[in-house]
Amino acid sequence: MTKQMEIHNNTWEIGGKTLSSRLLIGSALYPSPANMEDAIKISGSQIVTVALRRQAAGNTESKGGNDFWNIIKSLGIEVLPNTAGCHSAKEAITTARMAREVFGTNWIKLEVIGDQYNLQPDPFETVKAAEVLIKEGFEVFPYTTDDLVVAKRLADVGCKILMPWGSMIGSGKGLMNPDNLMAIRKQFPNLQLVVDAGIGKPSHATQAMELGYDGVLLNSAIALAQDPVKMADAFRVAVEAGRLGYEAGVMQKREFASPSTPTVGTPFWHQFKD
Amino acid sequence: MIEVIVNGKRTEIPAGLNVKEAISALEYRQEGFALALNGTFVALSTYESTKIHDNDSLEILAPVQGG
């Protein structure tokens, strides 16, 4: 195996699975199911988020849902059901239990929304739901803010994974508080940390990975791009670049200029002046 | 007949049905969904032992795209 192959063969563990891709991808908002399928494939992602919604009777209106689910199953990658739309721990717990039965996984992306304007997670209800679900054997992927104390509470109830937001869901604004994200990283070196929400462009994902985050979860940035498939490829590269950059160790910033070309042997060194 | 609320819509089904029978009466397919009764998850294995009562609320959810 060449050195280059070794570098690109890094794996990581999350939720009891060993994976190679650190990009977690959403399945919503794509122009078509075929486009979604192509984007997921080219992204290299091994985790795709899914949801539950009311099913229509008579198996007519729900046909689209069936087609969607068949595509996802055919991809052979891990599914991460979410509790999107829940506003209380009780709703989220019920949705998680339903998701476990339908999707056949104990993974749950725990989302409990506290404010409809900015879709900010409700920290109190999220912690409450996480505690119950972990006791029931769920692997909880909690969507949270970049608040260090909330992160501590989630870790206290047994979360091994934390998913602080970069910025508001669907905003594409990137990492609003990188210092807060870094504080969480430093406080929890042994937890799996994934930046979830707010990523708008590949450089945002790279920045998150350079902070030492273990992964990035995004949906809108790919699905709402003019060319979602090409953007999925861009994010694949961006996440990989950020991770490699983090592992390589970024140079220290300096407050002064320093030439990179050697000064010894410089021709015409101060010999000619006007 | 009794009145039940299914996915937010009020409808009528025969009295005395269990969950499995109610799903048939409501013309839902028999797989690929999960069900909650009055906000509480009902496992597939307990459909036949769980009775539906007047004014019960059922949520029947199936996989969709999500972020």
Q: Which ipTM score applies to this complex?
A: 0.96
Instruction: Number of A to B CB contacts under 8 A, please give it.
Output: 101
Helix (H) or strand (E) holding A239: helix A228-248
The chain-wide mean pLDDT, for chain A, equals: 93
**E-assigned strand segments in A153-214:** 161-164, 192-196
Q: Which residues of A are catalytic?
A: 109
Determine the pLDDT at residue A215.
98
Per the structure block, which two tokens stand in for B49?
């032992």
Tell me if B51 sits within 8 A of A109, measured CB to CB: no
**What distance in Å separates residue B8's CA from the closest CA in chain A?**
9
CB contact under 8 A, B62 and A27: no
Give B-chain residues touching A49 at CB under 8 angstroms.
66-67
pLDDT in tens, A102-147: 999 999 999 999 999 999 999 999 999 999 999 999 999 999 999 9
As a whole number, mean pLDDT of residues A153-178 equals: 97
Helices (H) and strands (E) in chain A, counts: 10, 12
Return the closest-CA partner of residue A47 out of B33, B66, B34, B32: B66
Determine the pLDDT at residue A272.
75
Give B-chain residues touching A27 at CB under 8 angstroms.
65-67
Give B-chain residues touching A91 at CB under 8 angstroms.
39
Is A34 in CB contact (< 8 Å) with chain B?
no
CB contact under 8 A, A94 and B62: no
Q: Which long-range contacts (CB under 8 A, 24 or more apart) does A184-189 make?
A: A184/A146, A184/A148, A184/A151, A185/A211, A185/A212, A185/A213, A187/A148, A187/A151, A187/A152, A188/A151, A188/A155, A188/A162
Whether residue B30 has pLDDT greater than 90: no
Torsion on CA atoms A188, A194, A200, A204, rounded to nearest 10: 50
Which among A27, A81, A94 has the least Cβ separation from residue B39?
A94
Determine the pLDDT at residue A63.
46
Q: Determine the residue of chain B that is closest to A104 in CA distance.
A: B32
Q: Which of B28, B61, B65 to mutate to test the interface with A (most CBs of A within 10 A)?
A: B65
Which among B33, B36, B66 has the least Cβ separation from residue A27?
B66
CB contact under 8 A, B33 and A49: no
Which among B27, B44, B59 has the least Cβ separation from residue A54?
B59
- Please report the residues numbered 152 through 211 in chain A whose beta carbons come closer than 8 angstroms to any beta carbon of chain B: 169-170
Whether residue A82 has pLDDT greater than 60: yes
Whether residue A257 has pLDDT greater than 80: yes
